Amino acid sequence: MENGILSKSTAGYGLSLAVVSIFSGLLVIVKETYTPLMDWMKALTGHHWITHGVFDIILFFVLGYLFSKSNLAQKMDADKLTKIIIWSVVIGVVLISGFNLAHNI
């Protein structure tokens, strides 16, 4: 029997991962090019990387919880989420590595 209907938590946290992957890549670019944001992130926890990680993890749990409570799972099947996760991770990694390649070498 084939049933691609995801649990609410898988759909919610899967989509949350996709959003945070891209958010994290964009945050690298923005914080490295906009000094006031970098300074604020440093001041918040003592190190911009700690703040970045805290933002990513909190956002992952908050969005995952909210998406899980929505009716997202009814619209999302496993094949669709698989594609979304692959592409969001690719975009996140390309944003981070591409920026560092262009900005630091």
Partner 1 sequence: MITSFLTMPHVVFGVWGIMTAVWVLVELLNYSEKNLGRLKIASALTTVFNWLAYVIGGWWYVVYYAADKAMIKKGPFPAAHGFFMETKEHVFFILLLLSMLLPVIVYSNKLSESKSIRKLGIVVAIIMVILGFGMEGFGSFITQGLRLGILGGK
> How many residues of this chain bind partner 1 (CB under 8 A)?
43
- Give CA–CA dist 14/8, Å, rounded: 10
CA 88 to chain centroid: 8
Burial of 103 (0-12, 13-18, 19+ CB in 10 A): exposed
Q: How far is the CB of 13 from partner 1 (least distance, A)?
A: 5
User: By CB under 8 A, is residue 74 in contact with partner 1?
Assistant: no
Lookup: tokens for 71: 């009716």
Positions 31 through 50 that interact with partner 1 (CB under 8 A): 46-47, 49-50
- Give CA–CA dist 103/18, Å, rounded: 25
Q: How far is the CB of 7 from partner 1 (least distance, A)?
A: 4
Q: Which residue lies nearer to partner 1 by CB, 43 or 93?
A: 93
One of 35, 36, 75, 105 touching partner 1 (CB under 8 A): 105
CB burial readout 69-91, b (16+ within 10 A) else e: eeebbeebeeeebeebeeebeee
One of 26, 37, 42, 52 touching partner 1 (CB under 8 A): 52
Binding residues for partner 1, per CB under 8 A?
1-7, 9-10, 13-14, 17, 20-21, 24-25, 28, 46-47, 49-50, 52-53, 56-57, 60, 77-79, 81-82, 85-86, 89, 92-93, 96-97, 100-101, 103-105
